[in-house]
Structure 1
Amino acid sequence: MSSDPRHILLMDGPDSTGLIHSVTGVLAHHHLNIIRNDEYVSPDRQFFMRTEFEGQYESAALMEELEKTLPAGIHLRINPKKKKNIVVFVTKEHHCLAELLIRYAFNELDADILAVFSNYNTLQPLVSKFGIPFHFISHEHKSREEHEEALLRTLSIYEPEYLVLAKYMRVLTPEFVRHFPNRIINIHHSFLPAFVGANPYRQAYDRGVKIIGATAHFVNNDLDEGPIIAQSIKDVDHRHTAADMATEGKDVEKIVLSQALKLVFNDRVFIHHNRTIIL
């Protein structure tokens, strides 16, 4: 196995002839070895490509040659293949957080959990077992804006690449979301776009559904309507109460969140309008 560092080149923009050839030619010119290449052209003729390569290179020289070779309108970025730095937000439910903590402890998360934030101290004993800082920042007797200002002050210590809402049961304001564009990932206990908002399992039970599900998505300024990253479902029937559905749903939620994070942390997700392209 090569000891050369690995990198991921992400590219998107208007489709045109020869884009793949242009990129691979420049990488070859810099003696870089392509490990994997995935591409997609959308119906509206937008081109997306993820190229994983290895080798040593001079960043400015490589980017300059790529930009000269490619047509205008192409967006390029090169990320080192490394773990992402994240902060996890929780309220009182433990199942998604516990799944992330176990995966982190066994090096299966593709991320470093810098801290856990909560508006309750319920889950502090769990987090302390993993030696991760826990910040209890209460929302009581504060306006939503005051609470979020307190969150942002403490977040500035960590400068995370992503925020993960692992059953964080508060709606974030547009002002807060603005600080982390396409960098907040939420798990919703429903198969979106069905049953948005509160009490989705009661909504599902009342409708007599035969499947329940979970959706991981990026957070934007529309409640539960950000670009969807991953979803899954589980069969239920008339014997299931709303409480039964909620219990079954927890298993789906924690797996879907983990799947979505793996995709995002491995730089496999592009956002195009309000949809994701996953390569």
Structure 2
Amino acid sequence: MTDITKHILLMDGPDNKGLIYHVTNVLYRHDLNIIHNDEYVSPGGRFFMRTEFEGTFNTDALLADLKTQLPEGITLRLNPKKKKNIVVLVTKEHHCLGDLLIRYAFDELDADVLAVISNYNVLQPLVSKFGIPFHYVSHEGKTREQHEEAILRTLAIYEPEYLVLAKYMRVLTPGFVNHFPNRIVNIHHSFLPAFVGANPYRQAYERGVKIIGATAHFVNNDLDEGPIIAQNVKDVNHRHSAADMAAEGKDVEKIVLSQALKLVFNDRVFISGNRAVVL
């Protein structure tokens, strides 16, 4: 199979001498042009590298050549540089969804929004303005597992590469998460690991915090404890009520979510244990 496009090579594994040389040498021998390269070695001695390149090549031949030049334990992923296909899950709050839809409409999201799914129909009028399919999948009268099975049936129509939880206010079961390992991105309305779970602004107010924040992270089977992709904060003081903090926090949430998605969709995030390494 021959490709003519820009690609991104992702590599991680135990650090060794000459890793960068071996990769760049193979790309050179295949007559490929490196556009951008980033690398990082963790304190524990794990090597990460993201290489963006362009040219015409045979995928199988290139990967085989790389594997012969690299030591054991190295993981390689080769992705075309293209928009990702995503489905957005929401509940009732509009601010993160609205921001994503506007970015999508103006080609600033690096993704194609295939559909929006919600357990309420509150946001259907907003989504319809952008010509995107909206699926109302109610949780009423269903167990959590039954509701998630209904969502999975809808997702099977689209086969998205990523799910984005844009203020989706339901805890996902391990069974659901296992369908999309490291492919569900959530925005949490606090500066994790502080104030996990529900009502974080009320928790922050009661502790008298001087900053509030938002955290975008991958979803795993521990509530609000998946690898953190991006965070940001905003100053507050004793004059802010919990409601004031929540209102201020909405701007931080949508900015952090869009920043995180840009990193993920551009293949800049590696998962290492419960940490996200961003290149």
1:194-224, CA deviations, whole angstroms, 9 ceiling, x for partnerless residues? 0000000000001111100000000000000
Please give the alpha-carbon distance, in whole angstroms, between the structure 2 residues aligned to 1:142 and 1:21. 56
Please give the alpha-carbon distance, in whole angstroms, between the structure 1 residues aligned to 2:88 and 2:172. 14
Aligned partner of 2:158 in structure 1 is 158
Aligned partner of 1:142 in structure 2 is 142
Aligned partner of 1:76 in structure 2 is 76
Please give the alpha-carbon distance, in whole angstroms, between the structure 1 residues aligned to 2:5 and 2:273. 33
User: In the TM superposition, what is the alpha-carbon distance from 1:83 to its structure 2 partner?
Assistant: 0.2
Amino acid at match of 1:188: H
1:103-130, CA deviations, whole angstroms, 9 ceiling, x for partnerless residues? 0000000000000000000000000000
Aligned partner of 1:47 in structure 2 is 47
Deviation above 3 Å: which 4+ runs of structure 1? none
Please tell me whether residue 167 in structure 1 is matched to residue 167 in structure 2: yes
Please tell me whether residue 118 in structure 1 is matched to residue 118 in structure 2: yes
Aligned partner of 1:208 in structure 2 is 208
Please give the alpha-carbon distance, in whole angstroms, between the structure 1 residues aligned to 2:54 and 2:160. 26
Please give the alpha-carbon distance, in whole angstroms, between the structure 2 residues aligned to 1:86 and 1:186. 13
Amino acid at match of 1:193: P
For the aligned residue pairs, the C-alpha RMSD in angstroms reads 0.5
Provide TM-score, normalisation by structure 2: 0.98
Aligned partner of 1:248 in structure 2 is 248
For the residue of structure 2 that corresponds to 1:100, the secondary structure is helix
Aligned partner of 1:277 in structure 2 is 277
Provide TM-score, normalisation by structure 1: 0.98
Aligned partner of 2:235 in structure 1 is 235
Please give the alpha-carbon distance, in whole angstroms, between the structure 1 residues aligned to 2:254 and 2:77. 30
Please give the alpha-carbon distance, in whole angstroms, between the structure 1 residues aligned to 2:215 and 2:182. 16
Aligned length: 276
1:32-78, CA deviations, whole angstroms, 9 ceiling, x for partnerless residues? 00001100000111000000001010001001100111111100011
Please give the alpha-carbon distance, in whole angstroms, between the structure 2 residues aligned to 1:215 and 1:172. 18
User: In the TM superposition, what is the alpha-carbon distance from 1:5 to its structure 2 partner?
Assistant: 1.8
Please give the alpha-carbon distance, in whole angstroms, between the structure 2 residues aligned to 1:231 and 1:34. 30
The within-5 A match list for 1:26-41 is 26-41=26-41
Aligned partner of 1:195 in structure 2 is 195
